[in-house]
Structure formats: structure tokens, C-alpha cells
Amino acid sequence: MMNKVAIAMALAGLTLAAPALAGPVPMAQNAHINDELRAGFAGDILRKTCPTISARMLVVMGRLWDLKSYAEAQGYTGADYDAFRSDPVQKKRLKDEAAAYLATAGAKEGDVESYCAVGEAEIAKKTPLGTLLRSSR
């Protein structure tokens, strides 16, 4: 009788522990990591398009280090994070999403001033994207 109880408890413990043993979700599904990288790509588009917007590089580098620490705390390895950041498919996906976000915010391809206006608005609102940027206006 004791054997059956022990087996049942062990199975229940394994069932409860299975999600923890499976590891984190694929990095492409981690909202925080994707949001932060998307903001970085959007900032890159803005700084390259608008002559009065530039990157706050120390902030950008700090956020990348913080993001790597976050990823490691979520169960990813440093190598997982580095591979995800340099994966060309993920880069393209995030750049496309960043461009779509900027378009939704009012940036129009070929209209430099519209990109400047979006950047200025992001800076003024102190959004995660805006905190990566500075304006010379």
C-alpha cells in the first residue's frame, strides 16, 4: 500500500514539475525580450532617417546588458540570447515589426519630417523607445 502512495506522489510531483523542467518558452515568444529589441530597431530606423534624432548609446548598451541579464534570469543561456539577437530571420521579423509600429505612429516612407515627429513624440512621452533617443531640436 505504501508503495502505491509513494508512486502516486512521485508521479504528481513530476507532473507539477514538468513545466519547470521544460525550460522557458522560445525566445521569439518572450514578449519582454521582443518588445525591447523591437524598440531598439525602431530607434535605429528613427536615428538613421531623422537628422535631428540620435541614439543615447550608453542607454542602448545598458538596456542590451539588462536584457541579457533578464533573459538569463528567465532560464535562457547567454549563448541563446546572443544567437537570437544575431539570427537574420529574427532580425528581419523585429525590424519589420518596428517599421510597422512607426508607420502606425505616423511615420511615412519618404517623409523625413514624419519620422522626426514620431521620434519627438516618443521622446516626449518617455516611452521605452523614446528613452533610447535624444533630439537636437
Enumerate the domain spans of the chain. Answer: 31-135
- pLDDT attached to residue 77: 96
- pLDDT attached to residue 11: 54
- pLDDT attached to residue 12: 53
- The tally of CA atoms less than 13 A away on the side-chain side of residue 33 is 24
Q: How far is CA 121 from the centre of its chain?
A: 20
- Contact (CB, 8 A) for 116 and 52: yes
- Contact (CB, 8 A) for 118 and 106: yes
- pLDDT attached to residue 18: 43
Contact residues for 115 (Cβ-Cβ < 8 A; gap 6+): 45, 46, 49, 50, 53, 102, 107
- pLDDT attached to residue 65: 96
Q: List the chain residues with pLDDT less than 70.
A: 1-22
- pLDDT tens figures, 86-103: 999 999 999 999 999 999
Residue 54 host element (H or E): strand 53-55
Rounded to whole angstroms, how far apart are CA atoms 18 and 36? Answer: 29
